[in-house]
Amino acid sequence: MTTAAEFVAVSRHFGDFTAVDSLDLAIREGALTTLLGPSGCGKTTSLRMLAGYIEPSAGKIMIGGKDHTDAPPEKRDLGMVFQSYALFPHMTVAGNVGFGLKLRKVPRAERARRVAEALELVGLGHLGDRRPKALSGGQQQRVALARAIAIRPRLLLLDEPLSNLDARLRVQMRGEIRRIQAETGLTVVLVTHDQEEALEMSDHMVVMNAGRVMQQGAPDELFPAPANRFVAEFLGYENFLTLPERGLVTVRPELLTVAPGDVGGGETAVSATVRSIAYRGVEVRVALDATTGAGGATTPLVASLRGDALTPEDRAALHPGGRVTVSARPDHLVSLAG
Ligand SMILES: Nc1ncnc2c1ncn2[C@@H]1O[C@H](COP(=O)(O)OP(=O)(O)O)[C@@H](O)[C@H]1O
Ligand SMILES: [Mg+2]
């Protein structure tokens, strides 16, 4: 693996508040790396330090193997796209896309070729003469993307680029950005608070909380094995229970089995009372109160069952107040650090 850029023990303080706390992160060349975390966890601050708009309070920013901690943004050769498209309204689409090339004194003919190529790549080859305001939000965001790509940056930085788009377009653009990244071989760093977006788009994802990295890895490594409760909750896990021998564990709702009757405890089986049932087509979601502690303490659990696999006995037990036994295969339980 070649490292395109690297954060080495990078921190950023604002007064006595620590926005980014000793961040170590290697950004792999030609890959899409995502910074994922809730609002305020330090994603934008990290990205802006990489771009050179914010100075780290401590640590080093390496780009292409060289220390760039003190380099101004224009010496870093990066393209950036923000949540707001920030297009120039008085320029045509082609003018917007060619703007950075003009600044870099790329000759006119070469500029025209690269603008056409970038617009083609984002699927707007036919709209170069339009003004931004004549385009939809999604199209404007593609123009911003084309403008960043046209300069052939060493790194493409995307800060929540899809959050202003409606849900359908957002999902479509995930695939589009992935395709563009694959076609160009660009190194991309994407900031998002949307775990689905991160899981779907990333080669490598970094989950952050309160300025610190909670866990990083490929989506298919991270999703089945969250390291702690924060990461698990952020990735959408809902079931958390403390078992006598295992401590805190989580398990995905679709990996729980629910059987009629009250067969009692054990390491991977607990008795429970059905709280509510929601039929969602093939999926049946059952909310349960599991008896987990001495003295009748309960823990809420959610099981996702396949409606077509339920027996008549199962259905009879699945009503509010029904007594059931919830179990999971031991290898489906994920131990958490707390
Ligand atoms: N210029 C600033 N002055 C003071 N606090 C800031 C400044 N920029 C960011 N912060 C604070 O740092 C934290 C991280 O911000 P940010 O990196 O924008 O988070 P994210 O992009 O993950 O939502 C937030 O609590 C934010 O209020
Ligand atoms: Mg942000």
Q: How confident is the model at residue 165 (pLDDT cuts 50, 70, 90)?
A: confident
The letter for the amino acid at 211 is G
Of 11, 44, 45, 213, which is best to mutate to test ligand 1, by the most ligand atoms within 8 angstroms of its C-beta? 45
Atom of ligand 1 nearest to the CA of 46: 17
Residue 55 has pLDDT above 80, yes or no: yes
Per cent of the chain over pLDDT 90 is 82
Residue 264 has pLDDT above 60, yes or no: no
Say if residue 154 is exposed, middle or buried (CB neighbours under 10 Å; 0-12, 13-18, 19+): middle
Q: What is the mean pLDDT of the chain?
A: 93
Q: Please report the sign of the dihedral spanned by the C-alpha atoms of residue 240, residue 243, residue 247, residue 252.
A: negative
Q: How far apart are the CA of 128 and the centre of ligand 2, in A?
A: 30
Span 269-314, pLDDT tens digits: 889 999 999 999 899 999 999 987 777 789 999 999 999 999 999 9
| Closest by Cα among 112, 185, 105 to 152 | 185
Say if residue 229 is exposed, middle or buried (CB neighbours under 10 Å; 0-12, 13-18, 19+): middle
User: Please, what are the domains in the chain?
Assistant: 3-231 (3.40.50.300), 237-335 (2.40.50.100)
Span 197-245, pLDDT tens digits: 999 999 999 999 999 999 999 999 999 999 999 999 999 999 999 888 8
**Within its chain, how far is the Cα of 76 from the centroid?**
25
Q: How far apart are the CA of 142 and the centre of ligand 1, in A?
A: 27
The answer to whether 246 and 54 have CB atoms below 8 angstroms apart is no
Q: How far apart are the CA of 40 and the centre of ligand 2, in A?
A: 7
Span 101-155, pLDDT tens digits: 999 999 999 999 999 999 999 999 999 999 999 999 889 999 999 999 999 999 9
Span 63-87, pLDDT tens digits: 999 999 999 998 999 999 988 778 9
Q: What is the mean pLDDT of residues 166-170?
A: 88
